Amino acid sequence: MAFVTRFAPSPTGPLHLGHAYSAILAHDMARAKGGRFLLRMEDTDLERCRPEWDALIQEDLRWLGLTWDGPIHRQAGHIARYNARLEALEDKGLLYPCSCTRADIRAALAAPQEGVAFAVYPGTCRARGMDSRQPGDALRLNLGAALEHLADADLGFTETGPAHAGLHRVDPDQALRQIGDVVLSRKGEDIVAYFLASAFDDADQGVSHVIRGEDLFDFTPVQVILQRLFGLATPVYHHHRLIRDDQGKRLAKRDDARAIQKYRAEGATPADIRRLVGLPNP
Ligand code: GLU
């Protein structure tokens, strides 16, 4: 199997040490295996993503000495295509419209992050039929119905990261408790959820290995469920350790003090960055 991996930042801020670690790790693993390293901009949040961040992320990656294969895939250019594919779930009766507040829905569209509580939806709108959909409603996956639909499916996935290495199987009860009815899109407003877009893209881009932060491990089940519902391949997952700040918190884009840009301005070299995050120099 060809080794294909990707670095998939959301261009909502500068690249920081945590991103650099993720990108270098994925890049080095791809190069070591003679595989491909892809760059994907997860820029579906049109309010928060900015071309300046997109450009700076590329500049920082190049400065780090990383090269990616093929053109950059930008999700914002494909939203209509992702939404069109959702109709397959609508036909199976696995979606319902949801009119819960815009702020809740907006938060639910982004990739989950450690330290930001993930709100499991209580199911307020679950009984609504698709024919009651109003402009601006979100579409949620009826996870219970989806799991019933997949009762005979193999919901296994392989993890190679240090904390959870081994073969895993989605536990339906745990998925219902911890993840619940996720938002997949807000139709008519050109918005699509991270869970859906990244599941489609990993499959469409032939990604064989997803290398990303440990904070997303608990959400892998929903991507495996979506892969089965759409008949997509499941990559091997490798969730890596997180680079933490001095207080032990995961670094987020808002932690500008750890921005690669700052280290560059202070005269650090790419080799210094590798040393800082505990990765060997080539
Ligand atoms: N855009 C996601 C993030 O920045 C990427 C997650 C992934 O690699 O699947 O958290």
Q: Is residue 59 part of a domain?
A: yes
Q: Is residue 204 part of a domain?
A: yes
pTM: 0.93
pLDDT for residue 109: 82
* Secondary structure of the chain in HEC code, one letter for each residue: CCCEEEECCCCCCCCEHHHHHHHHHHHHHHHHCCCEEEEEECCCCCCCCCHHHHHHHHHHHHHCCCCCCCCCEEHHHHHHHHHHHCHHHHHCCCEEEECCCHHHHHHHHCCCCCCCCCCCCCCCCCCCCHHHCCCCCEEEECHHHHHHHCCCCCCEEEECCCCCCEEEECCHHHHHHHCCCCEEEECCCCEECHHHHHHHHHHHCCCCEEEEEHHHHHHHHHHHHHHHHCCCCCCEEEEECCCECCCCCECCCCCHHHEHHHHHHCCCCHHHHHHHHCCCCC
Structural domains counted in the chain: 1
Domain at 199, CATH number: 3.40.50.620
In short, whether 5's Cβ falls inside 6 Å of ligand 1 is: no
Q: Is residue 282 part of a domain?
A: no
In short, whether 111's Cβ falls inside 6 Å of ligand 1 is: yes
The residue whose CA has the least distance to atom 3 of ligand 1 is: 9
pLDDT for residue 101: 73
pLDDT for residue 248: 65
Q: Is residue 264 part of a domain?
A: yes
Q: Is residue 194 part of a domain?
A: yes
Could you read off the pLDDT tens digit of each residue along the chain, which spans 282 residues?
A: 799 999 999 999 999 999 999 999 999 999 999 999 999 999 998 888 999 999 999 999 999 999 999 999 999 999 989 989 999 999 999 999 999 877 777 777 888 888 777 889 989 999 999 999 998 899 999 999 999 999 999 999 999 999 999 999 999 999 999 999 999 997 666 788 999 999 999 999 999 999 999 999 999 999 999 999 999 999 999 999 998 876 666 656 556 768 999 999 999 999 999 999 999 987
Q: What residues make up the domain containing 259?
A: 4-277
In short, whether 202's Cβ falls inside 6 Å of ligand 1 is: no
